[in-house]
């Protein structure tokens, strides 16, 4: 018909338009008016029925089986310099979603796996490319929760304790009550529903708490067969010509439950009162070559993620748990940091070599400490442990002179039985053996950074900047509630905070104050620009000692290999020019991966703590107030951790006033006051293992029921209605 474009003209216009091509844009492009617009509408419907075109959100059209001009993409891989994404929605039957290369602008726009972007797409050569227009919030497309039934309706209860609303399920699939599932959002606000897309299993089964975190944070946890084959092939490489250190009694001191061993140490006294020391690190760069699939996968993961019941490794187990792991009695490839340390613990000189070592023993921290304390015998006490301790005493002097930030905040350790059930949750003991290894690793990390600076080589620094003034002002106000002062006119150093901690003495609120000081610090990150490490009071610092589990350390190893021509195969294993040029972007990517891992690990421990406490709902526990707000206060269980709310509405009929400055709640009639750091007995009203959330209430009228000894209760909580433990109290729908 006159004026009406042909099917081919419409397809050509859609393919070449720089903007989304809807009915209005097509009509305007061909100058259609009146009845022609009605005819265009019918023609577009016919083309859709014929399988020529499809409509995207917003009613824009694109070629059937193709990608809309403007659409939402999800990043699925990083291949060398290229970020790869796929359409978030893909409904072409029998055809896999296309992979688009994302063209980023600038170095500050680094994207990671799982990121979502609104992008403009175009065909370029044989493939498709995408130009990011806007970065979208992650995780909006999928919901993670537990299926529950209420009458004839099904609901998805979220695992995120910050999400307070359940979502009605419109498509249950094969899921049933109590199943942990992934679901996608359907519908439009205000009527959002959920469509179950994947059943993950029983949320209370062993390892499910870790799986919740893995899926929630999008942590890559499976290796392809091709990657596993490549790892096996690289593990078989001959070690080549290396410095032979197998005659030295080098030992690896690690946690008793360590999954991989990437560092070992040795020391020997010198005639001048100082020490020769070696920190030998697994030579991962020899096996994981730049540009390989193993390298791309390691960069995508950024680091290993450690859960109480499993580890998600950065590298396949053929490398991480076998050939790279420094196990006793086995010849292993190592990158050795040789140091000369004077009697005052100062690092006088260093050199690096590719070596072959044979670890004399893998010793748990507790066993090494017991041997040094005289509580147990050890074959290597005289030849290995005592020289190490003597050298560490020198390093300790240098540390005391440096005055780094000293925050002795206990770390929670979840102990499981062989079936993955919780035996206990307790603070991890801090021994001199831990401090020894920490100080040896810090010395080697400093040597690595200074060695690269000496050659003016690229270095991935571990940067920790001083606290921002806004956070210091908040901390000052917080400390004033404990009658502690913090002068902001002075130069803030780590020792400034140490003096505050010293003034606390053995106050019962010391831990919560140290936690607040920790929150006032900036978050450390990786970057090729050196800004020092505030917390350690060091001018140059890089991570060198854990390449099995951190990609940043692998980059530092490669930089050292290139800067000092460390054979064998130095050219094939050194830092490439491309990676050196992209260090800023790589630093942003691995810093984000580290933050993701830390949050996933913390949330998983919270879930285990809640699961352990679910056995004690209704009991009165010793707690400490960790935060106060206008709607109530938060408290943690002494010795266990876990964070729970006491709503102000449960504090009785009295009216409570909130003091923002002093962070207190005070009853007008009773005068009862609740403040941060206060020790208090509370009844546990709710413990939700799936979300990790706790809720407390005042124990008026309740008898004090002591908690059974840890480890006595190993069973799974009995299940009640809607798939939650029967002893978890739940008031209405949140």
What is 317-344 written as a DSSP string? Answer: HIIIIIITS--TTSEEEEEEEEEEE-TT
Residue 92 domain-assigned?
Answer: yes
Residue 40 pLDDT > 80: yes
Residue 608 domain-assigned?
Answer: no
Which one of 454, 489, 520 terminates a domain?
520
Of all residues in the chain, what percent carry a pLDDT higher than 70? 88
Residue 232 pLDDT > 90: yes
pLDDT band at 722 (very low <50, low <70, confident <90, very high): very low
Return d(Cα 332, Cα 355) in angstroms, integer: 8
- Looking at residue 627, its pLDDT comes to 86
Identify the three-state secondary structure at position 550. Answer: strand
Q: List pLDDT tens digits, range 487-497.
A: 988 899 999 99
Residue 190 domain-assigned?
Answer: yes
Q: Are 494 and 404 in contact (CB under 8 A)?
A: yes
Q: Do 387 and 253 belong to one domain? A: yes
- Looking at residue 106, its pLDDT comes to 62
Q: Do 275 and 354 belong to one domain? A: yes
Residue 299 pLDDT > 60: yes
Answer with the residue of higher pLDDT: 55 or 541: 541
- Looking at residue 560, its pLDDT comes to 98
Question: Span 117-144, mean pLDDT?
Answer: 75
Q: Are 377 and 367 in contact (CB under 8 A)?
A: no
Please state which of the ranges 86-95, 425-434, 634-643 shows the lowest mean pLDDT.
Answer: 86-95
Q: Do 302 and 259 belong to one domain? A: yes
- Looking at residue 698, its pLDDT comes to 92
Q: Do 121 and 79 belong to one domain? A: yes
Residue 732 domain-assigned?
Answer: no
Beta strand residue intervals within 422-527, DSSP E: 422-427, 461-463, 525-527
Residue 217 domain-assigned?
Answer: no
Q: List pLDDT tens digits, range 170-202.
A: 999 889 998 888 888 877 777 888 888 888 878
DSSP symbol at 159:
S
pLDDT band at 477 (very low <50, low <70, confident <90, very high): confident
Q: Do 546 and 664 belong to one domain? A: no
Q: Do 529 and 504 belong to one domain? A: no
- Looking at residue 702, its pLDDT comes to 36
Q: List pLDDT tens digits, range 47-69.
A: 766 556 766 544 556 554 467 77
- Looking at residue 62, its pLDDT comes to 56
Distances (CA, A) of 33 to 3, 24, 28, 414: 9, 11, 9, 71
- Looking at residue 724, its pLDDT comes to 37
DSSP assignment of 387-403 equals HHHHHHHHHHHHHHHH-
- Looking at residue 63, its pLDDT comes to 53
Question: Span 407-411, mean pLDDT?
Answer: 82
Question: Span 588-601, mean pLDDT?
Answer: 92
Question: Span 272-287, mean pLDDT?
Answer: 97
- Looking at residue 79, its pLDDT comes to 63
Q: Which of 29-33, 416-420, 495-499, 701-705 has the highest mean pLDDT?
A: 495-499
Q: Do 424 and 565 belong to one domain? A: yes
Answer with the residue of higher pLDDT: 48 or 681: 681
- Looking at residue 404, its pLDDT comes to 97
Residue 212 domain-assigned?
Answer: no
Q: Do 339 and 425 belong to one domain? A: yes
Q: Do 162 and 277 belong to one domain? A: no
pLDDT band at 206 (very low <50, low <70, confident <90, very high): low
Identify the three-state secondary structure at position 588. Answer: helix
pLDDT band at 278 (very low <50, low <70, confident <90, very high): very high
Of all residues in the chain, what percent carry a pLDDT higher than 90? 49
Q: Residues 46-79, buried b or exposed e (16+ Cβ, 10 A)? A: ebeeeebbbebeeebbbeebbbbbbbbbbbbebe
Answer with the residue of higher pLDDT: 418 or 382: 382
- Looking at residue 491, its pLDDT comes to 92
Reply yes or no: is the peptide bond before residue 238 cis, omega within 30 of 0: no
> What is the pairing mode between strands 70-79 and 116-124?
antiparallel
Q: Do 592 and 686 belong to one domain? A: no
Which one of 494, 520, 546 terminates a domain?
520
Return d(Cα 50, Cα 304) in angstroms, integer: 50
Which one of 63, 88, 111 terminates a domain?
63
Answer with the residue of higher pLDDT: 662 or 80: 662
What is the CATH classification number for the domain harbouring 76?
2.40.50.140
Return d(Cα 88, Cα 171) in angstroms, integer: 19
Helix 293-301 and helix 551-563, axial crossing angle in degrees, nearest 10 = 130
Q: Are 630 and 682 in contact (CB under 8 A)?
A: no
pLDDT band at 20 (very low <50, low <70, confident <90, very high): low
Residue 124 domain-assigned?
Answer: yes
Q: 3-state DSSP: the chain helix, strand, coil percent, rounded to 5? A: 30, 30, 40
Q: Do 382 and 365 belong to one domain? A: yes
Residue 709 domain-assigned?
Answer: yes
Query: H/E element holding 693?
Result: strand 693-697
Identify the domain containing residue 443 by its residue range.
225-409+416-465+525-603
Q: Do 52 and 89 belong to one domain? A: no
Please state which of the ranges 16-20, 36-40, 238-242, 260-264 shows the lowest mean pLDDT.
Answer: 16-20
Number of domains in the chain: 6
């Amino acid at each position: 018909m006159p004026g009406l474009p042909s099917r081919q003209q419409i397809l050509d216009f859609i393919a070449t338009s720089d903007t989304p091509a809807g009915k209005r844009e097509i009509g305007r492009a061909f100058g259609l008016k009146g009845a022609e617009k009605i005819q265009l509408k019918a023609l577009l419907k016919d083309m859709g029925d014929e399988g020529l075109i499809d409509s995207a959100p917003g009613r824009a059209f694109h070629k059937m089986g193709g990608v809309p001009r403007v659409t939402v993409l999800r990043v699925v891989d990083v291949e060398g310099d290229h970020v790869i994404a796929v359409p978030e929605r893909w409904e072409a039957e029998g055809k896999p979603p296309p992979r688009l290369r994302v063209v980023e602008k600038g170095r500050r726009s680094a994207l990671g796996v799982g990121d979502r972007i609104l992008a403009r797409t175009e065909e370029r050569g044989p493939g498709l490319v995408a130009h990011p227009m806007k970065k979208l919030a992650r995780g909006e497309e999928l919901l993670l929760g537990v299926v529950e039934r209420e009458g004839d309706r099904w609901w998805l209860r979220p695992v995120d304790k910050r999400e307070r609303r359940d979502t009605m399920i419109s498509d249950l699939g094969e899921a049933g009550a109590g199943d942990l599932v992934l679901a996608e959002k359907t519908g439009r606000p205000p009527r959002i529903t959920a469509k179950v897309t994947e059943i993950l299993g029983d949320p209370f089964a062993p390892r499910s708490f870790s799986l919740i975190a893995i899926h929630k944070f999008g942590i890559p946890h499976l290796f392809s067969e091709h990657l596993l084959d490549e790892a096996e092939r690289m593990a078989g490489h001959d070690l080549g010509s290396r410095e032979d250190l197998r005659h030295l009694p080098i030992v690896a001191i690690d946690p008793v439950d360590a999954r991989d061993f990437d560092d070992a140490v040795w020391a020997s006294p010198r005639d001048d009162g100082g020490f020769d020391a070696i920190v030998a690190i697994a030579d991962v760069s020899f096996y994981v070559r730049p540009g390989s699939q193993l390298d791309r996968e390691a960069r995508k993961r950024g680091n290993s993620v450690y859960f109480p019941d499993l580890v998600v490794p950065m590298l396949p187990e053929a490398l991480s748990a076998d050939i790279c792991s420094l196990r006793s009695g086995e010849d292993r490839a190592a990158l050795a940091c040789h140091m000369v340390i004077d009697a005052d613990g100062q690092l006088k000189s260093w050199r690096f070599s590719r070596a072959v070592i044979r670890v004399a023993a893998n010793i748990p921290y507790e066993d090494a400490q017991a041997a040094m304390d005289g509580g147990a015998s050890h074959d290597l006490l005289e030849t290995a442990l005592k020289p190490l301790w003597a050298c560490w005493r020198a390093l300790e002097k240098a540390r005391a002179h440096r005055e780094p930030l000293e925050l002795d905040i206990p770390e929670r350790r979840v102990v499981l039985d062989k079936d993955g059930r919780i035996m206990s949750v307790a603070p991890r003991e801090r021994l001199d053996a831990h401090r020894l290894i920490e100080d040896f690793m810090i010395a080697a990390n400093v040597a690595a950074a200074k060695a690269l600076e000496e050659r003016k080589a690229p270095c991935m620094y571990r940067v920790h900047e001083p606290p921002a003034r806004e956070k210091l002002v908040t901390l000052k106000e917080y400390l004033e509630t404990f009658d502690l002062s913090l002068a902001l006119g002075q130069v803030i150093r780590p020792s400034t905070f140490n003096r505050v901690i010293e003034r606390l003495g053995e106050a019962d609120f010391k831990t919560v104050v140290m936690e607040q000081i920790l929150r006032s610090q900036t978050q450390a990150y990786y970057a090729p620009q050196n800004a020092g490490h505030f917390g350690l009071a060091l001018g140059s610092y890089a991570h060198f000692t854990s390449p099995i589990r951190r990609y940043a350390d692998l980059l530092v190893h490669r930089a050292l290999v290139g800067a000092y021509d460390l054979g064998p195969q130095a050219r094939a294993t050194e830092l490439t020019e491309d990676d050196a040029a992209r260090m800023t972007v790589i630093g942003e990517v691995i810093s984000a991966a580290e933050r993701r891992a830390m949050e996933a690990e913390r949330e998983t421990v919270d879930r285990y703590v809640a699961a352990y406490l679910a056995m004690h709902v209704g009991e009165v526990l010793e707690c400490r107030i960790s935060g106060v707000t206008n709607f109530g206060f938060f408290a943690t269980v002494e010795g266990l951790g876990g964070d729970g709310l006491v709503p102000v509405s449960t504090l009785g009929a009295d009216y409570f006033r909130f003091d923002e400055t002093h962070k207190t709640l005070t009853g007008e009639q009773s005068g009862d006051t609740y403040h941060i750091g206060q020790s208090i007995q509370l009844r546990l009203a709710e413990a939700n293992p799936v979300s990790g959330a706790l809720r407390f209430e005042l124990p008026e009228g309740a008898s004090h029921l002591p908690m059974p000894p840890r480890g006595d209760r190993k069973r799974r909580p009995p299940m009640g209605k809607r798939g939650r433990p029967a002893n978890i109290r739940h008031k209405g729908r949140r």
